[in-house]
Amino acid sequence: QQQSIDSLPDKLEQRMGAILEKKGVAAGNITRDLLREEIRALLEEVGLQKEKSAASSTPSPAQTRNYHTWGGKFHVLPKDFAFPSIDPLAAWMLWWFGNPKLNYPPYKGILSDDLDTPQKKATLSEWSVMMRHITNGIEKTLENRCRTSVTKLMPSSCLRLGTTHWS
């Protein structure tokens, strides 16, 4: 299974590149549903997602979010949440997708009120600045044609594009 995981970024990049060419991202012909289905198919192909059974083919309810109470308020993160020490690609993935295993939302949606220390709030700000720089680099490279959904689906490619203009 580790081989499947290791090969996933390259396969995803190739598959999404072919879809983008075929469907024409600049013309706006790619829908969220199309991208979702392509990703699911690819995950099944590399053995990282089980095929849906007939019983589960009905639409699932919207994802539920657990809320945590501390400081007399509701928060999307537990008080003991900590930003991990990770590489930029992993940070990019958490920024867009969160950590479903821990039921953390995409980090881009974390508010400073959901963090309990000035250090965590400063880290959120640093991550935000880094992601803004990467996104600006992507847009500069692709002349503003990169859609958010594309940015999410080809993280390693977009990260490389976004950091090519750093000096």
Residue 60 lies in a domain: no
Confidence (pTM): 0.53
Q: Quickly list DSSP for 60-103.
A: PPPPP---EEETTEEESS-TT-------HHHHHHHHHH-BGGGT
Question: Does 49 fall in a domain?
Answer: yes
Residue 29 confidence (pLDDT):
58
Name the token pair of 65.
Answer: 């979010």
Residues 49 and 28 grouped into a single domain: yes
pLDDT (tens digit per residue) in 37-81? 776 776 666 555 555 544 444 444 455 677 888 888 899 999 999
Q: Could you give the CA distance from residue 118 to residue 121 in angstroms, rounded to a whole number?
A: 5
Same domain for 105 and 158: yes
| 1, 79: one domain | no
Residue that is last in its domain, among 54, 82, 97: 54
Number of folded domains that form the chain: 2
The residues pairing with 99 across neighbouring beta strands, listed in sequence order, are 104
94 and 150 together in one domain = yes
| pLDDT digit string, tens, across residues 82-116 | 999 998 888 888 998 899 888 899 999 999 999 99
Mean pLDDT estimate for the chain: 74
Structural domain harbouring 38: 1-54
